[in-house]
Structure 1
Amino acid sequence: MALKCIAIDDEPLALRLMSDYVARFPELQMVNTFEDAITGAEFLKNNPIDLLFVDISMPDITGIDLVRSLQVKPMVIFTTAHKNFAYEGFELEALDYILKPIDIKRFTKAVEKAIDYHKYQNKTSAIAETDESLYVYSEYRMVKIDLGTIEYIESMEDYIKIHITNDKTILTLMPMKKVLEKLPSARFQRIHRSYIVPVNKIRSIQNRKVQLTDVELPVSESYNDFARNWAKHK
């Protein structure tokens, strides 16, 4: 079934362009378009929508305020001619943030992200255990991470740093407990209040230290049971 979309923008030309772009994707269905945020917000209160394209700078209320007011939020892709609203988009967990004028290549990238994320959200818990991706918000947009590239995850107070292959890192605002819930429990284990590791990348555990491919991490007293069980099965 196609994702139901609406677009809200005070520029008629922008709405026509958005409708034209959406029509190129069989996975999307443009249900309606609105030239003012208030009418669009009323429609959203009474109609279930999967994906919202919304301009940020509008004369009545901003797209930011509109999304913030929604009790049930669809996936959101902000469109704007201004860069200075990026942090607010991050706060509201927008899927993407596209600068105008919008070209089809950039639009396609945002839409593919929405389609992938919708599939991810609607998987059963059994399927989720075998899923190969993790989605997090980073740099003001949704980022898809291949589970196989995760070397370890590190807590940094309110943020977590995801260390991935080739010495790259992704920083996201999320508690460790929440990211652990998103990961398949058979493949990732918490070994310390500050660290989560992929089980298949553990090389050894000795003296309350976990040796991964390129780093050694501590095992806290609370997680000694995992260390003992891992050793028994090796």
Structure 2
Amino acid sequence: MSIIIHAIAIDDEPLALQLIEQYAQKLDWLQIDATFSDAMEAKEYMENNTIDLLFLDIQMPDVNGVTFYKELSLKPEVIFTTAYSHYAVEGFNLNAVDYLVKPYEFSRFEAAVQRARELIGFRQAKEVEEGFLLVKYNYQWLKISYKDIDYIEALDDYIKINVKPKPYLVHMSMKVVTEKLPPERFMRVHRSYIVGIEKVTSWNKNTITIADKTIPVSITYQKQVQDTLNKLMEESGG
């Protein structure tokens, strides 16, 4: 599974944020979703969006980065960035991925984010192995078992994960959730729908039925859907 790291950066120096963005553009698996010079604005963003990695300056005018990170209820992997090396020990005490002392070269940046990628990849692999999707819901982490997911529907900037007895509305894109789901258990059938393969009760060229829900199959996915479901039927002896 290809791993795309979704990150944000917090620093009171605009040039420091620009450098992180420039370095990230050299790595096709690292995506800087947003940058902030105001830590409180960043905190609000993190409460409403799922991120994997945080680049965090320590010495800022209104807040200390270490204190800021300690107070987060949901802690992504963190790489501290600062001009003051004496903060390193405190940063590592928080299990930081790494500590970048300004100014730093691309090679040092790449080494740090590669370490983060390995940690995040391990966590995502564990999710797949243990059979659950980890999402942020109502400001806390929620584990949703794969076997309980009927289908996932896109709703603007949110997705609705349909499980019984009630669905969960999560701030996440279809692209991100597709990267997290095991392809042997889920398939995209439409721009707005991902279905649990084993939950499909009937299908034709244009639609799929799961329980009492009829889901459209777009032209883009028709061949893939038919091939997958026909193979499943053959394997089950149908």
TM-score normalized with structure 1 length = 0.52
SS at match of 2:70: helix
SS at match of 1:123: helix
Partner of 2:35: 33
Letter in 2 for 1:119: G
Partner of 1:76: 78
Which consecutive residues of structure 2, in runs of 5 or more, have no partner in the other structure?
Answer: 131-238
> For each residue in 1:105-150, what CA deviation from the matched residue of structure 2 results, as whole angstroms up to 9, or x when unmatched?
100100110111111112238969xxxxxxxxxxxxxxxxxxxxxx
Partner of 1:155: none
Partner of 1:51: 53
Match of 2:126 among 100, 120, 124: 124
Match of 1:100 among 94, 99, 102: 102
Match of 2:92 among 90, 93, 100: 90
SS at match of 2:8: strand
> For each residue in 1:15-57, what CA deviation from the matched residue of structure 2 results, as whole angstroms up to 9, or x when unmatched?
1010011111111111000012121122112211100001000
Does structure 2 conserve the Cα–Cα contact (< 8 Å) formed by 1:56 and 1:79?
yes
- Write the mapping of 1:1-234 to structure 2, written as runs, cut at 5 A: 1-124=3-126
CA RMSD of aligned residues (A): 1.8
After superposition, the Cα gap between the structure-2 partners of 1:85 and 1:126, relative to the gap in structure 1 and judged at 3 Å, is same
Letter in 2 for 1:35: S
After superposition, the Cα gap between the structure-2 partners of 1:8 and 1:125, relative to the gap in structure 1 and judged at 3 Å, is closer
CA–CA distance in structure 1, aligned partners of residues 61 and 41 of structure 2: 13
CA–CA distance in structure 2, aligned partners of residues 68 and 14 of structure 1: 22
SS at match of 2:92: helix
Letter in 2 for 1:121: R
* Number of residues of Structure 1 aligned to a counterpart in Structure 2: 128
Does structure 2 conserve the Cα–Cα contact (< 8 Å) formed by 1:53 and 1:79?
yes
Runs of 4+ more than 3 Å apart: 124-128
SS at match of 1:122: helix
Does structure 2 conserve the Cα–Cα contact (< 8 Å) formed by 1:37 and 1:62?
no
Letter in 1 for 2:20: M
